[in-house]
């Protein structure tokens, strides 16, 4: 029988790291800040060290060679700022520590704010947006651009096939697509689909066809945290054109945070997420064309929580503020509709109603 691994002490971790995490320039505890997976930075010095050590070990075994110019890019300035319209992102080097040494502040024009603590590798990826490979081979594309824009739009709309999008590997999405998209708040370079040929032909065709690709794509998210990251990553062009979303109303970061705060918390409190609910709804409200939303909730939430507690929960109140959606469907995690249950029906009707209808009803 294999022996269980002993949990390392704080002193053992610090010895392996070669420095103390509590001496680093971590973000002020009064500022809500998260890791790239949207887990909240712990207040505990021990768990900060654990996170630092885990990432230290990963990067030690996965060394990535950097060119001199790439290394110099990060050493050039303490603060690097980029923007698109009213949206800005600031990358700040906080310390020369080995692992978590940069903060990323994302501010969107709608008032959305997200502060992240990232590694040197992740910081570099925010400055390394993948560019288009230009296809210069076709006379047919030049003929297309001779047509009036309204005709080209009709062609894109007719030719764009329906698609489905979901995250296959969360860690890969966090370290590649999400972190790189932070450096491109327009969403122009977000890798929506390699199957849509029009998105890779030329800059002009991508710019014109991208809105139609978003409108024809059904986005399926298994976690609220992933939706927040997606709606930041797709930029304004994505948020302006997404029409269909399927979302599991749960949060890994929220469950972990609540469990750390209170291991004796009852199950229903763990099932209803709070941590990123406001950010999630704030971004969904920017999806002006959103007309179809399918929500997946644990059946226990619908059947076991008292109606008053359900309706008063901050996350559910945030959902109720997302109004005017043409079609809302509520299912359990087994994909069985629960719309006819009293609480699910109440929530669906709230979200499908318009603000004007709500005011007339009061």
Bridge partner residues of 246 (DSSP): 220, 294
User: pLDDT confidence of 127, banded at 50, 70, 90?
Assistant: confident
What's the angle, vertex CA 266, arms to CA 264 and CA 270, rounded to 5?
Answer: 105
Map tokens 């971590």 to a residue.
26
Above 80 in pLDDT, residue 278? yes
Above 90 in pLDDT, residue 77? no
In this prediction, residue 361 carries a pLDDT of 53
Helices 203-215 + 149-159 axis angle, to 10: 50
In this prediction, residue 145 carries a pLDDT of 87
End-to-end CA distance of the chain: 66
Q: Which of helix, strand or coil describes residue 92?
A: strand
Map tokens 């310390």 to a residue.
95
Residue 190 CA: distances (Å) to CA of 174, 176, 235: 13, 11, 8
Q: Give the Cα separation of 172 and 154 in Å (integer).
A: 35
CB contact at 8 A, 204 and 156:
no
Instruction: Say what percent of the chain tops pLDDT 70.
Output: 80
Q: Give the Cα separation of 362 and 355 in Å (integer).
A: 11
Mean pLDDT of all residues in 300-318: 90
Residue 336 CA: distances (Å) to CA of 66, 70, 319, 332: 49, 50, 20, 5
Q: Which of helix, strand or coil describes residue 159?
A: helix
Map tokens 């690097």 to a residue.
80
Dig out the tokens for 268 from the structure: 């229903």
In this prediction, residue 68 carries a pLDDT of 43
H helix or E strand, kind and range, residue 52: helix 45-61
Q: Give the Cα separation of 241 and 216 in Å (integer).
A: 9
Above 90 in pLDDT, residue 354? no
Q: Looking at 79-208, which runs of residues are DSSP E strands?
A: 79-84, 87-93, 100-107, 113-119, 163-166
Q: Give the Cα separation of 246 and 294 in Å (integer).
A: 5
28-44 pLDDT, tens digit per residue, is: 666 789 999 999 998 88
Of 322 and 1, the structure prediction assigns the larger pLDDT to 322
């Amino acid at each position: 029988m294999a022996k269980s691994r002993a949990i390392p002490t704080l002193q053992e971790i610090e010895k392996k790291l070669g420095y103390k995490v509590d001496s680093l320039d971590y973000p002020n505890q009064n500022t809500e800040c998260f890791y790239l997976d949207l887990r909240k930075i712990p207040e505990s010095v021990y768990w900060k060290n654990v996170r630092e050590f885990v990432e230290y070990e990963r990067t030690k075994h996965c060394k990535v060679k950097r060119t001199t110019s790439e290394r110099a890019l990060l050493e050039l300035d303490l603060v690097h700022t980029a923007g698109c319209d009213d949206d800005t992102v600031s990358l700040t080097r906080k310390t020369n520590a080995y692992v978590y040494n940069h903060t990323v502040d994302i501010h969107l024009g709608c008032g959305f704010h997200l502060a992240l603590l990232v590694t040197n590798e992740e910081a570099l990826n925010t400055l390394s947006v993948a560019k288009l490979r230009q296809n210069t081979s076709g006379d047919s594309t030049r003929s297309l651009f001779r047509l009036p824009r309204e005709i080209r739009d009709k062609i894109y709309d007719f030719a764009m096939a329906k698609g489905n999008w979901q995250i296959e590997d969360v860690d890969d999405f966090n370290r590649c697509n999400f972190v790189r998209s932070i450096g491109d708040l327009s969403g122009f370079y977000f890798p929506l689909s390699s199957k849509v040929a029009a998105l890779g032909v030329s800059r002009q065709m991508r710019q014109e066809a991208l809105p139609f690709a978003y409108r024809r794509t059904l986005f399926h998210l298994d976690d609220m945290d992933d939706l927040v990251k997606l709606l930041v990553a797709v930029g304004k062009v994505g948020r302006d054109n997404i029409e269909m979303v399927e979302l599991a109303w749960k949060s890994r970061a929220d469950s972990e945070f609540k469990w750390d705060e209170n291991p004796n918390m009852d199950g229903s409190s763990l099932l209803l997420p709070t941590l990123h609910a406001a950010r999630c709804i704030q971004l969904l409200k920017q999806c002006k064309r959103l007309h179809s939303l399918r929500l997946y909730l644990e059946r226990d939430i619908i059947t076991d929580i008292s109606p008053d507690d359900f309706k008063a929960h901050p996350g559910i109140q945030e959902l109720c503020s997302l109004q005017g959606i043409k079609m809302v469907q509520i299912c359990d995690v087994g994909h069985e509709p629960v719309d006819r249950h009293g609480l699910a029906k109440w929530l669906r009707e709230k979200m499908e109603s318009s603000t004007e209808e709500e005011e007339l009803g009061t």
